């Protein structure tokens, strides 16, 4: 697992070689005691829970950084080093 960004108490990470379970580009999100898996492609909640206001922040961040997220996803599923992405400001 690699943390790629943190903002407003939200931790965004991507796991290496993690294309088996969900089989599509996604991120792992943690906020306090909540954990969620969210699709990079369409922002769909694939697993877990996340407060509505935090979900809105994550979805805005995904939209802003979509190209970078897809590039990191390609690196991660190949087992290569991924890059940090700027937080939501």
* Predicted local confidence at residue 62, as pLDDT: 98
Summarised one tens digit per residue, pLDDT across range 35-82 is 999 999 999 999 999 999 999 999 999 999 999 999 999 999 888 999
Edge to edge, what strands does the sheet with 26-31 contain? 2-7, 10-14, 26-31, 34-39, 45-48
Per the CB < 8 A criterion, the answer to whether 43 and 85 are in contact is: no
Say which residue, 22 or 36, is predicted with more confidence: 36
Q: Which among 7, 51, 42, 3 has a CA at the least distance from the CA of 22? A: 42
What does pTM read for this prediction? 0.92
């Amino acid at each position: 697992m690699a943390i790629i960004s943190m903002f407003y108490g939200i931790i965004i990470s991507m796991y290496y070689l993690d294309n088996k379970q969900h089989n599509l580009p996604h991120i792992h999100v943690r906020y306090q005691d909540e954990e969620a898996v969210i699709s990079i492609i369409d922002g769909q909640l694939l697993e877990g829970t996340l407060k509505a206001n935090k979900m809105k922040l994550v979805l805005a961040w995904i939209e802003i950084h979509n190209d970078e997220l897809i590039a990191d996803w390609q690196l991660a599923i190949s087992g290569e080093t991924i890059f940090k992405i700027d937080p939501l400001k």
